[in-house]
Amino acid sequence: MSKILVIAEHDGSKLNPATAKCVACASAIPGADISVLVLAASAGAVAAQAANIAGVARVLTLENAVFAQALAATIAPAVVGATGDHTHIFGPSTTFGKDLMPRIAALLGAPQISDLMAVESATRFKRPIYAGNAIVTVECAADSKVVATVRVASFEAAGAASAAAPIEALQLSVELPTHTRFVAVTAARSDRPDLQTAARVVSGGRALGSAENFKILYSLADKMGAAVGASRAAVDAGYAANEMQVGQTGKIIAPELYMAFGISGAIQHLTGIKDARTIVAINKDPEAPIFEVADFGLVGDLFQIVPELEKQLGQKA
């Protein structure tokens, strides 16, 4: 039997939707017995949410004031102490998971599968390499633990459980390092949906020309109830914040609708959107590579098209 430990990502009160996607991935392993581990200053609220995800057999909690911030250096040894006889340790392939999971893997002496996108068996998995230009199937040894970051865009979130799973508090058994200290986090405050999980995303490229011009996309996004993303070129040029970057080294997303405005479609960008259900591309260059992957393409000036779209799209669905 495969015993899978999913490390919950949360902000102290709310479970990140990426966790339910990790559970869905874990559920694809035959005979999976799934535990979710919540590390928090106070785990109650998050643990209750995790207990309500279908497929979760139990929720384990580790409470300590230092877990108020998700620092890999402090969390990793605590996770390792709680690993027990779990065979698979999964986390999301968000910046939280990408930072944390390799530290856990190294402490366990285990290999890590980054961006796990499909489960073939308890020991065989698929993952993208070369910015998604190739998919490799990897096999790990049955007698070794394996760590993975789950490519959240590849999995539909597990649904709600019919009955809540039991919650069990664990005692911290290891000493935690103090060499890494949280100072601050600055986030662009936004009332818009989270880019990683939004059903609709409106995204802009270098053709927007300035941060000021990006406002036309915010306005359209607000009308549509969409999140706003950006290409690397737009972020590098300072038109959009770093956390808005979509692509190989930014966020990999799978919305129902992705609308790309003035994005030419470098392969590194396409990597981030190819699981979107519907892709719309608007670009003045009819040869832009983005049109090769778009379901609907429109050649034209985005500064005319965006306001017109906003007018015609009416209300959010």
Partner 1 sequence: MKRILVAIKRVVDYNVRIRVKPDGTGVITDGVKMSINPFDEIALEEALRIKEKGQAEEVVAVSIGPADCQQQLRTALAMGADRALHVQTDAVIEPLDAARIFKSLADREQALLAILGKQAIDDDCNQTGQMLAALWNRPQATFASKVEINGDKALVTREVDAGLETLEIDLPAVITADLRLNEPRYVKLPDIMKAKKKPLETLDLAAVGVTPAERLRAVKFDPPAQRSKGVMVKDVQELVEALKRRGLA
Q: Is 156 in the site for partner 1 (CB under 8 A)?
A: no
Q: Which of 184, 191, 212, 287 binds partner 1 (CB under 8 A)?
A: 184
Q: Which of 10, 21, 86, 232 binds partner 1 (CB under 8 A)?
A: 232
Q: Is 107 in the site for partner 1 (CB under 8 A)?
A: yes
- How many chain residues bind partner 1 (CB under 8 A)? 86
Q: Which of 41, 57, 68, 129 binds partner 1 (CB under 8 A)?
A: 129
Q: Which residues of 189-221 are buried (b: 16+ CB within 10 A; e: fewer)?
A: eeebbebbbbbbbbbbbbbbbeeebbebbeebb
Contacts with 185 (C-beta within 8 Å, 6 or more apart), sequence order: none
Partner residues linked to 118 by β-bridges? 126
Q: Which of 3, 10, 86, 251 binds partner 1 (CB under 8 A)?
A: 251
Contacts to partner 1 from residues 32-91, by CB under 8 A: 71-73, 76
Closest to partner 1 by CB, 44 vs 102, is 102
* Closest among 175, 190, 217 to 77, alpha carbons compared: 175
Query: What is the SS3 assignment for 54?
Result: coil
- One-letter amino acid at 185 equals V
Q: Is 191 in the site for partner 1 (CB under 8 A)?
A: no
Q: Is 188 in the site for partner 1 (CB under 8 A)?
A: yes
Q: How far apart are the first and last CA of the chain?
A: 44
Integer Rg of the chain from CA: 21
Closest to partner 1 by CB, 51 vs 246, is 246
- Tell me the three-class secondary structure of 275-310, residue by residue: CCCEEEEEECCCCCHHHHCCCEEEECCHHHHHHHHH
Q: Which of 135, 169, 174, 211 binds partner 1 (CB under 8 A)?
A: 135
Partner residues linked to 59 by β-bridges? 36, 167
- Give the Cβ contact number of residue 164 at 10 Å: 16
Closest to partner 1 by CB, 170 vs 241, is 241
Q: Which of 14, 41, 137, 174 binds partner 1 (CB under 8 A)?
A: 137
Q: Which of 111, 193, 209, 225 binds partner 1 (CB under 8 A)?
A: 111
Contacts to partner 1 from residues 264-303, by CB under 8 A: 267, 274, 278-280, 291-300
Stretch that binds partner 1, among 32-40, 41-49, 81-89, 232-240 (CB under 8 A): 232-240
Closest to partner 1 by CB, 140 vs 221, is 140
Q: Is 133 in the site for partner 1 (CB under 8 A)?
A: yes
Element (H, E) at 97: helix 95-108
